[in-house]
Structure formats: C-alpha cells, structure tokens
Structure 1
Amino acid sequence: MTASPNPHRRTSVRVLTLALAALCAAPALAATPVDASKISPEVTLKLIDLLVAKGVMTRQQADDMIAEATASAAARPAPALAAQPAYQTQPGAVVVPYIPEVVRQQIKDELRAEVTQQAKSEGWAAPNALPEWTQRINVYGDVRARAEDVLNDGENYTDFPNFGALNAGSGYDVNDPLNNPLPTVNTTKNRGRMRLRARLGVHAQIADWVEADLRLATGSDRSPVSTNQTLGAGGNLSKYSLWLDRAYIRLKPSDWLTADIGRAPNPFWTSELLFDNDLSFDGVAIKTEFDTGGDFKPFVNLGAFPIFNTDFDFGSTQRLDKASSRDKWLYGAQLGANWTFSDDVNLKLGLGYFLFDKINGERSTPCVAPTSKDVCDTDLSRPQFQQFGNTMFAIRDIVPASGAPDGPQLQYFGYASEFGVANLHAALEIASFDPVKVVVEADVVKNLKYDANRIRALGPLNNFKPLRDPNDRTFIFDGGDMGYYINLLVGQPKIAKAWDWNASIGYKRLESDAVPDAFTDSDFHLGGTNSRGFILGGALGLARNTWLGLRWLSANEVSGAPYSVDVVQIDLNTEF
C-alpha cells in the first residue's frame, strides 16, 4: 500500500511548480534578454533530489516527473537558435535570471491563499492562535470588597430567641431553662466588619444548543442567601472556604425555549422581597420567551426545586425501622411580558405563584422525652436554614419519661404558617434623557396559604402585639401575610465605565409570614421578614466594570417587640 503523502506536500509541490515556471518565464520577461538554455538540467534534477530528501515527494513521484518532462521535451520541435546577446559574460560567471516584482508578488499571493485555505480545511495550529475548544470556553467572575456597619437601636428588645441556632443543635431543653440558657439574637451591640465576595465561573458552549456552567463562590457558611466572607472571622489570617455556587446544564433547542438542570441562577424575574439576589436554585427550570415580531414579548417561567431531601439512612434509636422521608419542594410558575411602548419607554410585568411544599412545621405524635440521639416523627419539618421573622411553634409533643418527670425535654421549632406566595412584579424604564435613565420598580407579595386561626391553635412563640400594660401578660398574635416594595432609580442601571452613576431610594414592608424568611433579602433588617423601612443607595463608575457603591438600609419591626437596626455598606466592585 502506498503511504499517504505528507499533509504539506501539495503546497511544497505548488511552490516548486511556481518557481520553475518563473525561471522558465523569466528570460522572456527580463529587461535584459537571457538565453533559456542557460538553465541547467542538472540544477532542476538537484532540486527534485532535494525535495525527495526532504520528504516532500517520494522517489517514485520524482522519477515519474522526470520521465514525463523528458517525454514532453522529446516531442517538441527543436527551437530555433536565438541571436547572440549584445553582451559577453566573463568566463565562469553565473547567469541569474531576473524575476520582475509583479511575478514575485503573484507567487506570494497565490502561495498565501493556498496555505491559508489548506490550514483551515486541515485544522493546522496557526502561530499565536489557541486550539478550537478554547474558543467555546468563557471565564467570568467578580470581586467585591465591603465595609459594613451594623447600628442597633438602644431601645431594642433583648430577648428574641435565635431559632436558627436552636434548630441546628440537638434540641433546647425546655424543662431546664436556667441551666440551658436560651440563645438570643444580638439586637443591642453595634458591629463593624469588612467582608469579601469573590465568584469565579466557567461557561462552556458544548454544542449549538447545549451549554454548561460552573461557578465557585466565597461564603462564611452554607447560607443560601449570602456569599459574603467576613474578613478575620477565622482568626490569625487563616484561609477561607470556597463553595459550589452553581453547576448546571442549559439546553436551548430553539430561540424561545431554555431549560436549566442542576444548580442554576434564579429563573424567575423577582426582587429581593421574595428571593435574595445571591440565591441559586437546585432542580429544573424551563424558560420561554416569545418574539411576536412586535413590541409585545410574553414569557413563561416554570420550575421545580428540592429545598430539602431526607437523609437516606435517617431514623431513630427508639425503634428498629427508619423514619419516613419528608422532602420539601418549591414549585414556581410565572407569566409575564416585555412591552416596549416607544424607543424611550419599556414596561416589564410578571405575575407568579410559588408553592413551598411541606416547608411548614408539624406537631409530632406523643414522643417520650427524646435524648440528643433520638428523633421524633416530625423533626424533619423544622427548617434546615432560617433567618428571622417567621412565626414559630414547638413541634415535639414531648411525654415525660417514666419515673423522670423533671428529666431533659429537648424541643425543636418549626414554621407555624404554610406558604403559597402570589407575586406581582413591575418595572417601568424611561430613557428619554439618554444616557440617564429613570426606572420605577414595584413588587407585591401575598401568602395565600396564611391562616391566622391555625397559627393561634398551634401556640405561636413570637410576633405578638406589644404589651401596653406591664401587668397584663396576655399575648395576642399579630402576624401578617402581605409585603410590598417600591424603588426609584435615576442614572445608569448597570455601571459599565468610568463616571457612569446612579442613585436610588426605596421603601420596603414585609410582614411576618408573607414569605419564608430563609430566602428573602439577607441585608435589610439583617435578613428575614417582619421588617419595614427605607433603602438609599448610589454608585459611581471608577473604570471599566469597576465602581464604588454606597447603601443605607434603615429598618424597624412591623409587629411585636421593638427591633430597629441601620446597616451602612460601602462597596468596591469589579467584574470580568
């Protein structure tokens, strides 16, 4: 079998052909006539031998070329003798034919075009060019340095239970509060801290309709609503953890349909009244946007997300069989539209419903005084993460152990309300003062599964009306199911270059059980619900994708004991 020719051989043979053609044509084109017979056949043969030695052609190909040239020369009639030139060369001088500039340029152009075409077709690695797969990979990220002051009001109530800490431990001994002090939220002492957020992502275009995305982020803990790392928190300049913040596959079989599978960004158009901006969603999301060819573009977003999945081997030491699972899910649906009234005015609307399945707590069946190693049948109904504000109740129905009525009685706490949240979100953008824009945003939420009577029957532990008479210890539940947010922004919504700017003012009110406190804004009122107040902010571009931001968040409680806190944040942001 004849070996395949060298991939560059065709180009080299083309070079030889062009060169020989130029040599043969040169006497006719030269300014000074040169006898073509002066071109020695030995030179041509040596050139062919050199090409064979370099591997450009095989010996057989060379012999065939020589034989063909010999037969062609024999068939041609003998040329007439040319007149002797008017000049004489010195004995031993070498005659070099002159090749005009136009011929040399033609050779270079044809050679360049042929090499370029062959490089593209055969995938040669060009100088200073990256491999093809790197053109489908995009690296992105951002870094934010923050200085933050937390300023508590001196008149704040001091005994707010820290239910998150209680539920994260082995249970609170309600039978011995003196020796087992109740952990409380800090509402009186001010704090100042520096914080860092760093995120690094890789986006890959696998195929025309398949993408993959992976992002790592900082974070002081496993909180789903914050990627902030408090500097100095570990002590002695110790290093910090990186978390898997996103990892998903995106399928886009058409221009109007997208599906995200894995841990992906928020697929819904919402404000921080419902979902914190740092929140990622585990599960499956489907997004559609229809181009009707006009100024009205509707969209539909759907999703199913596991909030909590029961440990495979979860059980109790009180019985041989394992406990039943209690998986928690979020199901969301949103219908909306982008409506462009003119070149300068755009309105975006979104109406959604979000069902948080089995997120509420449930009272257990009678459970004999459990130890720290035991479980009761509704222990999994307690929240695995929470912030502050939702109404809580004790979920264990504890029966004192026989013969030990004063023994430990470890208790957990769950959400007293169920959650099915309706959401109406709107934003009006006016660009009549280009480059300055005016954006008015409004958001409203209502918990359609809120039932005040059910909550009272469970025995709520917080969110009561303030006591007017110190001698009257009657606690009256005073929770709520509504929330709204309105904000005005002037300037450039997205800071992209030096001297871009914006300023904003907003007001937020979020009643105790309007939304689950675990997923809402983590900065306003230090996170959670049962809060109301103003947000002032501004940003100034310092360079390309680099800006300085300032925010003041002033919040009070909606119901219950007094709790007022101001948060001031100065941010230096950059992204790439």
Structure 2
Amino acid sequence: MGQWRRWILVVGVWLLGGFPGTAWAASEVDILLDKLVDKGILSNVEVGLIRREIAETKETRNKDLAKAIVPDSARNWKWKGDIRLRDEIRNREGGGGQADTHRQRIRFRYGFEGKVNDQLKVQARVATGSSTDSSTQDPISTNQSFNTNFVKVPFNLDLANLQYTPNIPGVSKSTFVGGIMENPFWTVSPLVWDGDLSFSGVAAKVEQELGPAKLFVNSGAFSLDTDETETASIWSAQGGIAFKPFADAVNELLKNLKLIAAIAYHDYKNVANASKAGTNINAAFTTNTAGAKDFNEINPSFEVATKVAGLPVSTYLDWVHNASAGSDNNDGVQIGLKLGKAKNPIFSFSNGLNLKNGWEAGYFFQELQANAAFDEFVDSDFNGGGTNNRGHAFWVTLATLKNSTVGAKWLIGERLKGSKDVEDRLQLDWVTKF
C-alpha cells in the first residue's frame, strides 16, 4: 500500500507542476517535493528527475498552447523599426546666399516583413518625411525637422513590396521584387544613390555560389514620372563578384579577406520630360546643368574587407561616369576607409571597456562633377546635396547600449564650379533599433 501511495503522490505532483500558466502551482510543488524528501518517501535523485520532467513537460505544453492561440500567419510576421534623433549644425560661406543653420531633426521608421509561404514574402514600412505632397516631398530624406510649431507631422509610405524567391535548379538564390523597395543594387557609398532612397518598380536579383566566389546579377526597371506623353524611367543592370580567396587560411587577415567588385549601368529614359529632371529641390545651389537632360551612368564599385586583431577593416572605391554628358563635368568618385563595428556596448560595469566591437569610424573623399549623376538621388547631406561638389567626411560611432548608438559626423564640402560655396556640417546622432 505504501508503494502505491508513493507513486500516486509522484503522479499528482507531476501533473500539478506540468500544468501551463500556473506559477503558484510550481512553488507549491517545490514545497511538496521537499516534504516528501524529508519524510523519506522520495530520494533527492528522484526529486531531481521529477523536477526535470516537469520542466520539460511544461515547456512542451506552453509551446503547444502558443501554437493553438497564435495562428501560423501571425507567427510568420517580423516587426522592426528604428528612431534617430539628430542635432545638426551647418556653416556656409560663399555667394550662394545660403544661411547658417542649427536644427534638430528626427527620423522614425517602422514596418514588417511577412512570410506568406516558403517562396513569397510581403514587406511594408512607414517613415517620417518632409511632406505627403509628392510635388514637394524629398525622395532622399526621411528626416523631420523640429520646425512645425508642435503641429502633428505625417507618416509616408516608405516601402511596400512583394518578394518572390523561387527554387530554380542550378541557381543558388533568385529573388524577384515588385513595388516600393529598398535599393536592389550592391553599393559601397551614397555617391550615386542616397541611403534613404526607395525605388518604385520591379527588380530581379540572382546569386550563384562557385566555391569561394559568389557571382551576382541585379537588374530593375523603375518609374519616375508617368504623367507625361513618354514615361520617365530608369532601366538598370549590375553584375559583380564577391570572393574569399583564403577562406581556409589560419592567418586572421587572410582568412577574413573578402574582395567585392561590381559594375552597374543605369539608363535614364525621357528625364527631360520629368517635372524634376536634374533639379534637386533641396539642393538649390548644386543642380545639374541645363545640358544634362539624359543620363547613362556607368558605375563600377570595389571593396576590400578583412579583420586585423579582431577588428573589421575595409576600404572602397566608388566611381560614376555619365556617358551621355559629353566630355565635360561627367565624372564622380568617392574613396573611403572604415574601421570597427559598433555592435555591442563599448563599456559596461561587468565587462569593462569593449574596444573590439563597441565602436566604428570612417573617412571618405568625394568629387562629384555637375553632370556625373542625376542629382536628385545622390547623397543629400554632402555639401547641401546634389552634384558639383568636392570634399571630405569623417565619422565615429559608439555603441552605448544594446541596439543603441551615438555618433558624430563631420562633412566638409565646396562647390566645384560657379560661386565657390563652402559648407561644413556637423551631425550628432542617437540611433536606436527595435
């Protein structure tokens, strides 16, 4: 009879402790198990086994309960966003009539990526911006300045697309995108495309693994202005290779050495008919000249990256040539260096100073002639945005908390031709991702 009573108690304890969602029951079970050990009914080894079985059973039941409550479609959605607070000081000199400014700005973006099935995803994101009126909205900025006298500011549709990734025999990966999307091309700098620019149209991306090398091809067709007799558009193609020649090496520098090279061709169609052709609304003194109404941009890019003492190091070269602008003012180049990666907090009381992955810094030199690129889509920060500029940029970023960084960037630029307008810009940023 004693043996039967013993096992009845064990089964009762197991059922009570394994029931999901009862924290009070777990504490009562611990008390009961301790009493059973004290009375000699169970040994410490048996109690340990029971506690482990209870924990495993509870975890399994909780997972089953979560699956029953939350539908498959909801579990396949991933939400993410970021917020950036910026203090910006701009000092300007020259004949452009631009005033010095000191302003505070915010960028907020939030969106989701939903898995429809194994081959189809949907992506959407809203973001702050200057206006919801397409005639005055800046396509290369999601900043909102604190200049609205506390009037509520709107959100804009920043991304909305479908991504189809079929399984094609003999192809490592292929993705087809339609809608409003992030830049589908591999880029190393904002020389040609500002980082906030979204593309409207269709794109195809194909990758092929070949041992230590990966070949990739990106292409797309994008609409600029359809309210014209002939639609203004961009037709683009890019081919490149990413290569790790010494992936099996023991030496850290060689083992992490990665070479990437690509060349892109961007053909602008009928931009002379587009309402904004070559006139960046935020670049009043750096616009394309009247002769640049057509753009056939050849854009080769190169990057060499590795690690030194655990520190990521890379250097890059980005070049653009507008073959449709004749032989004058049609080239641009940016060359830069990046050190480190601000991934984990640079300091904590438990781990001390983190110099391995708690910071990053960089520098670049840029010269972008007036007709080298379509000025409405190039870097909006450098020398006030647009083309016809030359100068330098320095920046440093520190990871202060998990998923949160602070940084400073100093840009010094001057106008190449015309009145020698000069601008130096200091940006102090606090960025948090969630």
How far apart are residue 360 of structure 1 and its match? 2.9
Aligned to 2:303: 427
Larger Rg over CA atoms: 1
Whose strand proportion is higher, 1 or 2? 2
**CA distance in structure 2 between the aligned counterparts of 1:491 and 1:383, rounded to whole angstroms:** 37
Classify 1:128/1:382 alpha carbon distance in 2 versus 1 (closer, same or farther; 3 Å): closer
- Contact 2:278–2:288 (8 Å) recurs in 1: no
How far apart are residue 386 of structure 1 and its match? 4.4
Does 1:305 pair with 2:233? no
Where do residues 461-540 of structure 1 align in structure 2 (5 Å cutoff)?
480-492=329-341, 495-499=343-347, 500-540=358-398
Where do residues 253-268 of structure 1 align in structure 2 (5 Å cutoff)?
253-254=166-167, 255-268=172-185
**CA distance in structure 2 between the aligned counterparts of 1:143 and 1:228, rounded to whole angstroms:** 10
Q: Deviations over 1:50-96 (max 9, x none)?
A: xxxxxxxxxxxxxxxxxxxxxxxxxxxxxxxxxxxxxxxxxxxxxxx
Aligned to 2:49: none
**CA distance in structure 2 between the aligned counterparts of 1:450 and 1:358, rounded to whole angstroms:** 15
SS of alignment partner, residue 542 of structure 1? strand
How far apart are residue 385 of structure 1 and its match? 5.3
Does 1:333 pair with 2:209? no
- Contact 1:556–1:564 (8 Å) recurs in 2: yes
SS of alignment partner, residue 224 of structure 1? coil
Does 1:234 pair with 2:140? no
Deviates more, 1:197-206 or 1:334-343: 334-343
Aligned to 1:567: 425
SS of alignment partner, residue 157 of structure 2? strand
SS of alignment partner, residue 360 of structure 1? helix
Aligned to 2:139: 224
How far apart are residue 558 of structure 1 and its match? 1.3
**CA distance in structure 2 between the aligned counterparts of 1:349 and 1:526, rounded to whole angstroms:** 29
Does 1:201 pair with 2:94? no
Amino acid of the structure 2 residue aligned with 1:101: W
Aligned to 1:243: 156
SS of alignment partner, residue 377 of structure 2? coil
Does 1:213 pair with 2:123? yes
Q: Deviations over 1:494-552 (max 9, x none)?
A: 53444510111110000000001000000001100000001011101101111111011
How far apart are residue 238 of structure 1 and its match? 1.3
How far apart are residue 198 of structure 1 and its match? 0.3
**CA distance in structure 1 between the aligned counterparts of 2:382 and 2:66, rounded to whole angstroms:** 54
Amino acid of the structure 1 residue aligned with 2:95: Y
- Contact 1:417–1:451 (8 Å) recurs in 2: no
Classify 1:518/1:152 alpha carbon distance in 2 versus 1 (closer, same or farther; 3 Å): same
- Aligned counterpart in structure 2 of residue 191 of structure 1, from 101, 105, 108: 101
Q: CA RMSD in A?
A: 2.8
Aligned length, in residue pairs: 365
Amino acid of the structure 2 residue aligned with 1:218: T
Where do residues 142-161 of structure 1 align in structure 2 (5 Å cutoff)?
142-153=82-93, 156-158=94-96
Where do residues 403-418 of structure 1 align in structure 2 (5 Å cutoff)?
416-418=292-294
Aligned to 1:545: 403
Q: TM-score, normalised by structure 2?
A: 0.78
**CA distance in structure 1 between the aligned counterparts of 2:216 and 2:379, rounded to whole angstroms:** 25
Q: TM-score, normalised by structure 1?
A: 0.59
Classify 1:128/1:566 alpha carbon distance in 2 versus 1 (closer, same or farther; 3 Å): farther
Aligned to 1:101: 7
Deviates more, 1:338-347 or 1:128-137: 128-137
Aligned to 1:133: 73
How far apart are residue 554 of structure 1 and its match? 0.3
Unpaired segments ≥5 residues, structure 1: 1-29, 33-97, 159-185, 311-323, 362-378, 394-414, 453-478
SS of alignment partner, residue 75 of structure 2? helix
Classify 1:138/1:502 alpha carbon distance in 2 versus 1 (closer, same or farther; 3 Å): same
How far apart are residue 422 of structure 1 and its match? 0.3
SS of alignment partner, residue 513 of structure 1? coil
How far apart are residue 129 of structure 1 and its match? 6.1
How far apart are residue 202 of structure 1 and its match? 1.0
**CA distance in structure 2 between the aligned counterparts of 1:217 and 1:552, rounded to whole angstroms:** 25
Aligned to 1:390: 287
Aligned to 1:366: none
Identity percentage over the alignment?
Answer: 27
**CA distance in structure 2 between the aligned counterparts of 1:438 and 1:124, rounded to whole angstroms:** 46
How far apart are residue 128 of structure 1 and its match? 10
Classify 1:134/1:279 alpha carbon distance in 2 versus 1 (closer, same or farther; 3 Å): same
Aligned to 2:314: 439
- Aligned counterpart in structure 2 of residue 286 of structure 1, from 189, 192, 204: 204
